[in-house]
Every structure is written in C-alpha cells, then in structure tokens.
Amino acid sequence: MIQRIAELRDEARAAIVAATTTGELEELRVRYLGRKAELPNVLRGIAQLPPEQRGPTGKAANQARQALEAQIAQRGEQLAGDELEDRLRDDAVDVTLPGSPAQQVGGLHLLTSTRREIEDVFLGLGFKIAEGPEVETVYYNFDALNHAPTHPARGLMDTFYVSDEVLLRTHTSPMQIRAMQAEPPPLYVIVPGRVYRRDSDATHTPQFHQIEGLAVDEDITLSDLKGTLLAFARAIFGPDREVRLRPHFFPFTEPSVEVDVSCFNCKHGTLRDGSRCPVCKGTQWLEILGSGMVDPNVFAHVAEHGYDPERVQGFAFGLGIERIAMLKHAVPDLRLFYDNDVRFLEQFA
C-alpha cells in the first residue's frame, strides 16, 4: 500500500509540473485529491487495515497529500501570475499607433447633389420648397392645367395610367394647382420630384426628375421670369452666362417660352483647336427648360383661393434635373444615372 501511495504521489508530481494552465491544474487537483480519487480513499480505508500497517500507511498518505497540496498551490500561483502577465500584454493598447483609417461613407448621387444645388439657388431667391404626390389625378395633371381632352400626352401611349382618372404624374406642374389651393398669393414655390413618361432612350428614361417653379404676385411680368432664370443659370453654369427666351407652346402658360443658356464650354460654338463644341453642338446655346406666364385659364381653377386672374399674374417653369446634371458634367447617356455603377457615381461624390 505504501508503495502504491508513492507511485500516485510521483505520478501526480510529474503531472503538476507539466501543467500549463490554472484550469489544467484544477483538473489535476480533482483527479488526485478529489472526493473520488485514490489517495484520499486510502486515508478513509485506514481502519480496515491490519493494526500494524495503519500508522505507517496513514502517515505516508497524509504526507503525500500535503506535499501535493503544497505543490499545487505553488504551481497555481506561478501559473496565475503568468496568465495575468499574458493578459496584460495582450490587452495593452498602444496609444501611439495611428488610428484606423476613416470609414468610407459614400457620397451623394449626382442627381441628389444637383437637386440640392438648384434648390439652394431658389431658396436664396425667396422661393420655398413643396412636394406633391407622384400618383396624381387626371384633373390635376391635365384638366386643371388647360390640356384639351384630345391632348396627345393623355394618350395611353404617352402616359402610365393607374385607372381612367388616376395616373403617374407626367410632370411636376400639377403641384402648381395644389400649391395655389393650399395658399393665397403672393406665392413663390419650387417643387422637386419624380415624374413618369413612356419614353426610353439615351436622353429619356421612363422615370426622371423635375423641378417646377411657380411665382404668383401682382405685377409679375415676363422680365421677372427672365431675371429669375438668369440668376439661376449664372449660379449653376457660371457668372458669365446669358439666357434667351424662344417662343414655344405649353397648354398652361401663355405666352410660353423655352429657355436657353449660353454655352459654358466654348466661344462662338468652337473650341480653341477650331473644332465644333460637343456640348452645344456649335449652336452656342443649351436648352435648359420650358416656362411661361401662367395662363388665366389655370387661375380660373383656383380663383376661389384668391387667384383672381384680373389681379394676379405669375410665371412658371419646369426643368429636368437629369438634363441640368448632364449638361453641367458632360454626361453622355442619361441611363448612367440609374445603372448604379460606382465607378461612374464616384466621380461626382
């Protein structure tokens, strides 16, 4: 029995020396000194031994147990110390290291930044911003805007109808009516938003963005329109720009004009090397929007809201955000805005 005690003690000693973590050490304590371990059981079984063996066996077992307990305690302290040091080293923060590189946060889409740029110009001129429904009624989109019942835009080929009376708005102009219903004159408002048409090619997508402008007051004339658009053109395309008005037709303005801005890319239609300017195609002018003086027939629809055509006049304009962005940044194909190719978008972010 004493022989077996010595064997157990030596086996345990070797194992304790070899232990590399406090966890392992705890397992060894259970294995050699725990309730079910062999050595403590020897001590518990002493009474069954012949009397002359009880003394020496008990002594040997006790000594072995105490020696192992002491060894475990000592090794435990050592290992705990090592582990603490490891942890301190691993957790150390080197405050002199450079910080992590800034996260890429992306940027605004060119259409968003262009819209905001345009909005800023008109906010600066005293206009406020309103928004309206993209799903509109025929009344607001066409009837109240003086479109004859036979107007081609009303055709199914031109327009996305939800039902006979409801459609996706083909322009932001219905908001002229809604804005006037909401507030009496004087009114200075711009309306950014999505519009929908059954068109699809390099310069048309079925959905695109417009900004509507409407100014109604007493004594508003065409020259107020021209001055406002001149300020806009200079803010967006450069301080030397000029604008010109060309006669045009819209059902809801009279007179109606198309507005051109002088080309910002060339002098007299040619580049320095004598070649034709690709931006204005040699014409020296860029068409930027449609506009005109609000037709009295339109005011008739909102007369009960304070818009007496005998007393107030107004001008309205509608511009395409895509068109402005394409001109300003020489974007060749409108569809690039919607392909979501980051290599394209990043150039403007």
Q: Report the alpha-carbon distance of residue 182 to residue 316 in Å, rounded.
A: 17
CB of 197 to ligand PHE, least distance (A): 9
Q: Which is nearer to ligand PHE, 57 or 291 (CB)?
A: 291
Q: Which is nearer to ligand PHE, 228 or 253 (CB)?
A: 253
**Counting contacts by CB under 6 A, is residue 127 touching ligand PHE?**
no
Give the range of 8-16, 135-143, 227-235, 287-295 binding ligand PHE by CB under 6 A: 287-295
Residue 316 corresponds to which tokens in the numbers above? 């309205």
Positive or negative torsion for Cα 113, 117, 119, 123: positive
Angle subtended at Cα 280 by Cα 159 and Cα 277, rounded to the nearest 5 degrees:
145
Q: Which is nearer to ligand PHE, 9 or 295 (CB)?
A: 295
**Counting contacts by CB under 6 A, is residue 141 touching ligand PHE?**
no
Residues between 243 and 272 with contacts to ligand PHE, criterion CB under 6 A: 250, 253
What ranges in 174-330 are assigned the alpha helix state H? 174-182, 222-237, 296-300, 321-329
**Counting contacts by CB under 6 A, is residue 159 touching ligand PHE?**
no
Say if CB 255 and CB 316 are below 8 A apart.
no
CB of 274 to ligand PHE, least distance (A): 36
Q: Report the alpha-carbon distance of residue 196 to residue 208 in Å, rounded.
A: 7
Report the length, in residues, of the chain. 349
Question: 174, 192, 314, 318: which one contacts ligand PHE (CB under 6 A)?
Answer: 318
How many residues at the interface with ligand PHE, by CB under 6 A?
11
**Counting contacts by CB under 6 A, is residue 174 touching ligand PHE?**
no
Binding letters toward ligand PHE, positions 297-316, x by CB under 6 A: -------------------x
CB of 319 to ligand PHE, least distance (A): 8
Q: Which is nearer to ligand PHE, 72 or 220 (CB)?
A: 220
CB of 170 to ligand PHE, least distance (A): 7
CB of 263 to ligand PHE, least distance (A): 22
**Counting contacts by CB under 6 A, is residue 228 touching ligand PHE?**
no
Q: Is 50 exposed, middle or buried (CB count within 10 Å of its CB: 0-12, 13-18, 19+)?
A: exposed
CB of 179 to ligand PHE, least distance (A): 12
Q: Report the alpha-carbon distance of residue 53 to residue 34 in Å, rounded.
A: 24
Q: Is 305 exposed, middle or buried (CB count within 10 Å of its CB: 0-12, 13-18, 19+)?
A: middle
Q: Which is nearer to ligand PHE, 173 or 228 (CB)?
A: 173
**Counting contacts by CB under 6 A, is residue 173 touching ligand PHE?**
yes
Q: Report the alpha-carbon distance of residue 227 to residue 224 in Å, rounded.
A: 5
**Counting contacts by CB under 6 A, is residue 290 touching ligand PHE?**
yes
CB of 325 to ligand PHE, least distance (A): 17
Q: What b/e string do you get for 204-226 counting C-beta neighbours within 10 Å, with b at 16 or more?
A: ebeebbbbbbbbbeeebeeebbb
Phi/psi of residue 87, each to 5°?
-65, -45
**Counting contacts by CB under 6 A, is residue 42 touching ligand PHE?**
no
- How many CB atoms neighbour CB 60 within 10 A? 18
Q: Report the alpha-carbon distance of residue 131 to residue 113 in Å, rounded.
A: 17
Question: 57, 146, 284, 291: which one contacts ligand PHE (CB under 6 A)?
Answer: 291
Residues binding ligand PHE (CB under 6 A)? 171, 173, 212, 250, 253, 290-292, 316-318
